[in-house]
Amino acid sequence: MSVAVTRRRVAAAVATVALLVPLSACGSDDSKQDAAAPSAGGSASASAAGEVKAADLTVLAASSLTDVFKTAGAAYEKAHPGTKVTFSFAGSQELAAQVKQGAPADALVTADTKTMDGLMAETDDPKIIAKNRLVIAAGKGNPHKIGALKDLADTKLKVVLAAPEVPVGRYSKEILDKQGVTVKPVSQEPNVRAVLSKVELGEADAGLVYKTDSAKSKDKVETVEIPDDQNAVASYPAASLKGSENADAAAAFVAWLSTPEAQKILQEAGFQQP
């Protein structure tokens, strides 16, 4: 075989390889894209959630979520190994002040939409995760026979309410004004748990609290239901914070609060569906 022929065959082989390399590379990119894309039977959010890295999350949450969020947090950590969720509970107005002051946190859940709406510059889009209603918490055995909102106007009763800037305090004022009931509280507390504590300790005869809080303390207080047409509905919005250093993990936790697993935990604690 001549040297010229040999050289032509080598050159042809090199050209063929050169053509195949870019084709192979294109095929590799397509495969990666296909693997990264969610399957037709799954959702993009589910795929994204699976890719979120473990993180230590700090969640600011309304006082009325204290008990249920401890349960929810444990469930979330179990389903997301390596992630730790730490809650900071307070009145929604206190939480809002912390956010505006730049407190290091990843997500926020308030007991009303008004407080959350005032933080639009600091939060991502919020979503309602639960609802609640008010009840009258009376002393154990209801010794004063309190049966309705109008009974709280009795000046002989020691009634405690949340401060008007607190969501439950604002809801309380709303329903009392609606019924034309004037109450002179012996104290105005910074959050719903403080109101409940006053009744539990016998420092007050009655107070207006969320249904879920009263139910959790049924061995210490008597719950007096308020008819729906006289009541107020409390909505709980949740949002990740724009200043979070764990943005993806924070968004994943907030999204999880609307899943069937989280909703079951909330509803078993007495919260209503969003």
Encode pLDDT of 57-99 as tens digits: 999 999 999 999 999 999 999 999 999 999 999 999 999 999 9
pLDDT for the residue numbered 30: 38
| Mean per-residue pLDDT of the chain | 86
Q: pLDDT at position 129, please?
A: 98
Domains of the chain are: 45-131+236-268 (3.40.190.10), 133-233 (3.40.190.10)
Q: What is the mean pLDDT of residues 241-254?
A: 97
Q: Hey, what are 220's tokens?
A: 């210490």
Q: Compute the average pLDDT of residues 224-236.
A: 97
3-state secondary structure (DSSP) of residue 121: coil
What does the alpha-carbon distance between residue 149 and residue 63 come to, in Å, rounded to a whole number? Answer: 23
Burial of 127 (0-12, 13-18, 19+ CB in 10 A): middle
Upper half-sphere CA count for residue 177 (Cβ side, 13 Å): 8
Q: In this model, does residue 19 exceed pLDDT 60?
A: no
pLDDT given at position 52 = 82
Write the pLDDT tens digit of every residue in 99-153. Answer: 999 999 999 999 999 999 999 999 999 999 999 999 999 999 999 999 999 999 9
pTM metric for this prediction: 0.80
| 188-197 average pLDDT score | 97
Predicted confidence at residue 35, as pLDDT, reads 36
What DSSP character marks residue 18? H
pLDDT band at 267 (very low <50, low <70, confident <90, very high): very high
Half-sphere exposure of 50 (CA within 13 A, CB side): 8
β-pair partners for 60: 88, 108
Please give the pLDDT value at position 28: 37
